[in-house]
Structure 1
Amino acid sequence: MHTVARSRAFTRALSLSSLFIVGAACLPAAMAQTYPAKPVRSVAPYSPGSGPDAVMRILGERLTRNWGQQLVIDNKPGASGFIAIGDAKRAAPDGYTVLQVDNTHMALQPHVFKQLPYDPLKDFEPVAPVYFTNFFVVVAANSPWNNVGDLIKAAKAAPGGITYGSWGIGSVAHVGAAMLEAATDTKMVHVPFKDMGNVYTSVATGDIQWAFGSAATAGPMYQARKVKFLALAAPKRLPGYADVPTVGEAGGPAGFEVKTWVGLFAPVGTPKAAIEKINADVGKVLASAEVKERLATFGFEPYIGPPGELTKAIERDSRTFGEIVKRARISLD
Structure 2
Amino acid sequence: MHSGRIHPANRVTRQTLTALDRRHKMIKNSTSFIRRDALRRLGGFALALGAAGRSLAQGATAKPIRIISPYGAGLGPDGTMRLLAEKLSSQTGRQVVVDSRPGGNGLVAVNALKQAPADGHTLLFVSNAHLTINPHLFSSSAYKLGGVLEPVSTTYRAPFYVAVGSGSPYKSLSQMVAQAKANPGRLSYSVPYIGSPPHLGGALLEHLTGTQMIPIPYKDAQLMTAVATGEVDFTIATLGSLAPLVKGGKLRLLAIAQPIRSRAEPDVPTAAESGGPKDLVVQSWVGLVALKGTPADVLRRVSEEVRRALASPEIIERYAAAGYAPAGSTPAEFAQLIKQDDQFYAGLIKRIGMKTE
- For 1:286, the equivalent position in structure 2 comes to 310
Q: Deviations over 1:251-309 (max 9, x none)?
A: 22336322211100011111111111111111111112221110011211112221122
- For 1:7, the equivalent position in structure 2 comes to none
24, 28, 34: which one pairs with 2:56?
34
Deviation >6 Å, runs of 4+: none
151, 159, 172: which one pairs with 1:126?
151
- Shift in Å at residue 240 of structure 1? 4.2
| CA distance in 1: counterparts of 2:168 and 2:74, whole angstroms | 31
- Shift in Å at residue 145 of structure 1? 2.3
What SS is found at the alignment partner of 1:150? helix
- For 1:163, the equivalent position in structure 2 comes to 188
- For 2:78, the equivalent position in structure 1 comes to 53
Q: Percent identity?
A: 35
What SS is found at the alignment partner of 2:310? helix
CA contact (8 A) 2:201 2:280 kept: no
- Shift in Å at residue 188 of structure 1? 2.1
Within 5 Å, which residues of 2 pair with 1:140-151? 140-151=165-176
- For 1:188, the equivalent position in structure 2 comes to 212
- For 1:332, the equivalent position in structure 2 comes to 356
| CA distance in 2: counterparts of 1:286 and 1:255, whole angstroms | 31
CA contact (8 A) 1:234 1:257 kept: yes
CA contact (8 A) 2:67 2:125 kept: yes
Rg comparison, structure with higher value: 2
Listed as ranges, the gaps of 5+ residues in structure 1 are 1-25
What SS is found at the alignment partner of 1:156? helix
- For 1:15, the equivalent position in structure 2 comes to none
State yes or no: 1:176 paired with 2:229: no
State the TM-score, normalized to the length of structure 1: 0.83
State the TM-score, normalized to the length of structure 2: 0.77
| CA distance in 1: counterparts of 2:198 and 2:287, whole angstroms | 19
| CA distance in 1: counterparts of 2:229 and 2:92, whole angstroms | 49
- For 2:108, the equivalent position in structure 1 comes to 83
Within 5 Å, which residues of 2 pair with 1:200-239? 200-239=224-263
Q: Deviations over 1:1-45 (max 9, x none)?
A: xxxxxxxxxxxxxxxxxxxxxxxxx9xxx69x9385332221111
| CA distance in 2: counterparts of 1:48 and 1:152, whole angstroms | 35
Within 5 Å, which residues of 2 pair with 1:254-265? 254=278, 256-265=280-289
Q: Deviations over 1:130-182 (max 9, x none)?
A: 01222211113233322222223333344434322212211111111112223
Q: Which is worse superposed, 263-272 or 139-148? A: 139-148
| CA distance in 1: counterparts of 2:324 and 2:264, whole angstroms | 11
Within 5 Å, which residues of 2 pair with 1:242-257? 242-254=266-278, 256-257=280-281
- Shift in Å at residue 229 of structure 1? 0.9
| CA distance in 2: counterparts of 1:214 and 1:328, whole angstroms | 22
State yes or no: 1:317 paired with 2:341: yes
| CA distance in 2: counterparts of 1:135 and 1:171, whole angstroms | 12
